[in-house]
Amino acid sequence: MKKFWAVWAIFLTASLMGPAHADQLDDDLQTVWEVLWDQRGTPRRLTRWKPGNEPIRYRVFGLEAESHKKDIRRALDATTVATGLSFTDVSGNADAAQSAQLDFEIFKDIPNEPSFACLVMPVRFDGWNFTKVSVQMRARDVWGCSHHEAMHAMGIPGHPSGKTVLSYFRYRQDQLSDLDRVMLKAWYSPEMEEGASPFKAVSVLASHVAKAHSAGRDAAELDNRAKLFLQSTVQSMENFAQGKGEVPTIVRRSGLASESHIRNARNEITFMLGTAYSLGEIVTRDYSAATQWYVRAAEAGHEGAQFAAGMAYFYGAGVPVDKARGYRWLVKSATGQKPFIKDKLAEIEKTLPEAELQQLRQDLNKP
């Protein structure tokens, strides 16, 4: 499993923190956008534990495990009010290795990553929901890592610049901030859809942030500022997707984002803009614009965008029906690694008259 959330990477200078904002609301809105990007500069869809009544089974093991249980439990409990999740320690159970859903393993130094104080690795999923997550920590850093990693273990990936325990520049390590609790509440709220795109997720997060600032302030004015922020975010991401302007600060902040990661981030955002326009996330629904973004990402090799562009042309979503062009993109997308795309293509082919299918296959060889 590819490791994609690591903590305590390179501590950068304060000059990378980005421009100052008008007030705390602006800072918090920027933070909840940044939190959706992993440390290598890739925007992530929402992942989390499935909300429910069953407690999450966790175990603590490894070097001096008993002495660290209190700090880990305190961090987990700090997330409970906001998420509605509960936890039960199964460390002492004979079947703990099999039954635990959340592992905390303590080392003198983390294997293969000796410079890291701690890191999180999702191990198994059911759809977009975690079924197994592994947390690794250096023994000497458990106290400073527990709350940070508890946030990651709940699904929140990024290391933003604001007042959050997730920041590389965090001002507190031993407790969650008010903003952390707002983010967790939004992350596990009913309006946050499973697998939400970053644009959908940031709209929910921004709404919760605006409400958190509402005491003694004009709610309509706060909502308007949140909407303006979202519109500005979409515009900046459209520029990013088209290679205009500067690379977003959040992409550069960790020091781990290579040029290949930046290209990947650009392609992911391009595809997600297509999704935003297709579903009406933040922007007004526009199938024509969605297809344009899908095609741009498809031409850059994005498998999901190739499938989306194929479906758009095959069925005429915002563009005239062009089954030959649509089928070409669908076949291209099915050469990738996603089984559901192969299954969907096979399903579409079964609905076509044999003569039409044979013609589409012949057209694949045309320029």
* CATH number of the domain bearing residue 55: 3.40.390.10
Q: Return d(Cα 271, Cα 185) in angstroms, integer.
A: 27
| 103 belongs to a structural domain | yes
| 347 belongs to a structural domain | no
Q: Return d(Cα 25, Cα 6) in angstroms, integer.
A: 27
Going by pLDDT thresholds of 50, 70 and 90, the confidence category of residue 132 is very high
The stretch 248-273 carries a mean pLDDT of 82
pLDDT, averaged across the chain: 89
Closest CA relative to residue 233, chosen from 276, 191, 264, 267: 276
Secondary structure percentages of the chain, helix, strand, coil, to 5? 50, 10, 40
CB 50 within 8 A of CB 129: yes
Inform me whether the pLDDT recorded for 10 exceeds 70: no
Going by pLDDT thresholds of 50, 70 and 90, the confidence category of residue 3 is very low
Q: What is the reported pLDDT for 20?
A: 42
Look at the chain and report how many structural domains it folds into: 1
Going by pLDDT thresholds of 50, 70 and 90, the confidence category of residue 254 is low
Going by pLDDT thresholds of 50, 70 and 90, the confidence category of residue 260 is confident
| 329 belongs to a structural domain | no
CB 270 within 8 A of CB 293: yes
| 127 belongs to a structural domain | yes
The stretch 159-185 carries a mean pLDDT of 89
CB 121 within 8 A of CB 7: no
Burial pattern 33-50, b for ≥16 Cβ within 10 A else e, equals bbbbbbbbbbbbbbbbbe
The stretch 241-247 carries a mean pLDDT of 84
Q: What percent of the chain has pLDDT over 70?
A: 92
Going by pLDDT thresholds of 50, 70 and 90, the confidence category of residue 255 is low
Inform me whether the pLDDT recorded for 146 exceeds 80: yes
Single-letter amino acid code for the residue at 331: V
pLDDT 10s digits, 283-331: 999 999 999 999 999 999 999 999 999 999 999 999 999 999 999 999 9
The stretch 205-210 carries a mean pLDDT of 96
| 286 belongs to a structural domain | no
| 350 belongs to a structural domain | no
Tokens coding 247: 């690379």
Q: Return d(Cα 279, Cα 273) in angstroms, integer.
A: 10
| 225 belongs to a structural domain | no
Q: Return d(Cα 285, Cα 206) in angstroms, integer.
A: 20
Domain of 139, in residue numbers? 5-20+41-177
| 362 belongs to a structural domain | no
**Side-chain half-sphere exposure of 316, counting CA atoms within 13 A:** 3
Q: What is the reported pLDDT for 262?
A: 85
